[in-house]
Amino acid sequence: MYFTDRGIEELEKRRGEEDVTLAWVAERLREFVDLNPEFETPVERFATWLARLDDEDE
């Protein structure tokens, strides 16, 4: 188990029943980067990965 799995499990446990939009998630990611600019690159990579999940060329 990776260390991040604990955070993912907590997210699922606390908010797993909620319905959210990707616009809501995008806004939370922006807020997170504003508060933690050192994570700009990983958040950008994660957002790009999510955006391109359906790309057959990738």
pTM value is 0.79
The whole-angstrom separation of Cα 58 and Cα 53 is 8
1-58 pLDDT per residue, tens:
567 789 889 999 999 999 999 999 999 999 999 999 999 999 999 999 999 998 876 5
4-20 pLDDT per residue, tens:
789 889 999 999 999 99
The whole-angstrom separation of Cα 5 and Cα 19 is 21
CA pseudo-torsion sign 51, 21, 30, 13: negative
- Interior angle at CA 46, CA 27 and CA 4, nearest 5: 100
Residue ranges per domain, the chain?
A: 6-51
Torsion of CA 56, 33, 25, 28, to 10 degrees: 180
